[in-house]
Chain A
Amino acid sequence: MKVILRGPERREIEVAGGRTLSQIARDLNLNPEAHIFVRDKTILTRDEFIGDNDVIEVFPAISGG
């Protein structure tokens, strides 16, 4: 599956699917409290199952200043 990290430094990475969003976030060291995960323009809860062919966008919530 593909993960698109949004924000000023946009990146795309491939990781294994077939598990929950919570597990994927933990592997990527992304704190769910500081991010929103979106698939097909729908926000996902942490228990959502992510398939191998899914594309997830990750929006960082933290802003500075």
Chain B
Amino acid sequence: MKCQMCKAKASIELPQHRAAYCNKCFEEYFRKQVRRNIEEHEMFAPADRILLAVSGGKDSFSLWDALIELGYDVTALYLDLGISEYSRQSGEKCRAFAEERAVPLRFISVQEELGLTIPQLARRTRRAACAVCGRVKRYLFNRCALQEGFDVVVTGHNLDDEAAALLGNLLHWQTGYLARQQPLLPSVHPGLIRKAKPLYTLTERECLAYALIRGLPFHEGTCPFARRVSTITYKEALNHVEQASPGTKLAFFKGFLKHKDLFRPEQPPALKECSRCGQVTTEDVCSVCRLLQKALAHDPDDRRLTRPGTSPATGRNPLPGT
């Protein structure tokens, strides 16, 4: 099999595009896709300050590398979730990569910020760890971006992530989520930073290939809480269809974006600032503060929740000027 660009021996084939590339041409193809997605959706401009959420896995590392190579002003943010060995190893990978490439990395411990780790929060509130984790991550990404004046929060969600989420939302007719699912979430409030997913047309396999070809030191481990989540079942099902009919995942998600108006939100909820931490919410108290309230309810020594206008866990005001 030959590379369709330079006719050298191909190393990776992409049946969804009826294409095959050698290592060098694949790297170019990957970065071209990233840049095209950024420009097509006007996710951010070269002068914007980008906060990239990194987990230590292949997807965020591939995006990290691609954004650096494309010349964007990118700062990575790693959240230590407190998931024992998994978090420790992931954090080490991020630190090593940032050091090797001499690029900025913010390192935030969920335990230091909120007083509890993700497993502790999940246990105390009797909620699924993945649901707690997603909520806390969104909260801290936005807060960090606001505090440090970043223009956009970027994540490494790829085509498989988006197609699996779409399938899950359709199977359960989550019309609210369907209305919000898109590669670029614009800012609708001064306290909400816009969010972008430049990998949304690239498969997990393409991200893995890019990471291997570039020799990126990503973490191969899987979060112990994520092993039995329904997302993986949806991904496997979609890959089964993809194998029989290449291009299905891309057509599925792009078709959804084309027909997105079918899932318009009825009435956007009014946004306000959380009375405890100042982050944007639709309720008087934001979902993370409510989660913390519940988790700390049995801790009689903890008085941090009673201080108005401060972060419930750290006791300090998380937003300048509020």
Q: A and B bound? A: yes
Is A7's CB under 8 angstroms from B220's CB?
yes
Is A19 interfacial (CB-CB < 8 Å)? no
Could you tell me the distance between the alpha carbons of A36 and B205 in the complex, rounded to whole angstroms? 7
Chain B residues, Cβ within 8 Å of A45: 1, 10-13, 20
> Within the complex, which residue of A6, A35, A38 is in contact with B205, where a contact is CB–CB below 8 Å?
A35
> Within the complex, which residue of A6, A34, A43, A65 is in contact with B209, where a contact is CB–CB below 8 Å?
A43
A23-65 vs B: 1/0 string, CB under 8 Å? Answer: 0000000011111101000111111000000000001011111
Distance in Å from the Cβ of B42 to the closest Cβ of chain A?
A: 28
Could you tell me the distance between the alpha carbons of A35 and B243 in the complex, rounded to whole angstroms? 12
Could you tell me the distance between the alpha carbons of A65 and B239 in the complex, rounded to whole angstroms? 17
> In the complex, how many residues of chain A place their beta carbon closer than 8 angstroms to a beta carbon of chain B?
22
Is A6's CB under 8 angstroms from B220's CB?
yes
Is B243's CB under 8 angstroms from A64's CB?
no
Closest to B244 in A: A33
Is B57's CB under 8 angstroms from A33's CB?
no
Could you tell me the distance between the alpha carbons of A55 and B57 in the complex, rounded to whole angstroms? 25
Chain B residues, Cβ within 8 Å of A61: 160, 203-205, 207-208
Q: If A8-B221, A33-B205, A36-B205 touch, does A62 touch B1 (CB 8 Å cutoff)?
A: no
Is B298 interfacial (CB-CB < 8 Å)? no
> Within the complex, which residue of A8, A46, A59 is in contact with B208, where a contact is CB–CB below 8 Å?
A59
Closest to B208 in A: A61
Distance in Å from the Cβ of A38 to the closest Cβ of chain B?
A: 7
Q: List 18 A-B contacts (CB under 8 A).
A: A7-B222, A8-B222, A31-B240, A32-B243, A36-B12, A36-B209, A36-B212, A43-B213, A45-B1, A63-B58, A63-B59, A63-B204, A64-B222, A64-B223, A64-B227, A64-B232, A65-B223, A65-B226
Which 9 pairs of residues, A with B, have the shortest CB-CB distance?
A64-B226, A65-B226, A61-B204, A61-B205, A43-B11, A33-B239, A64-B232, A61-B208, A45-B1
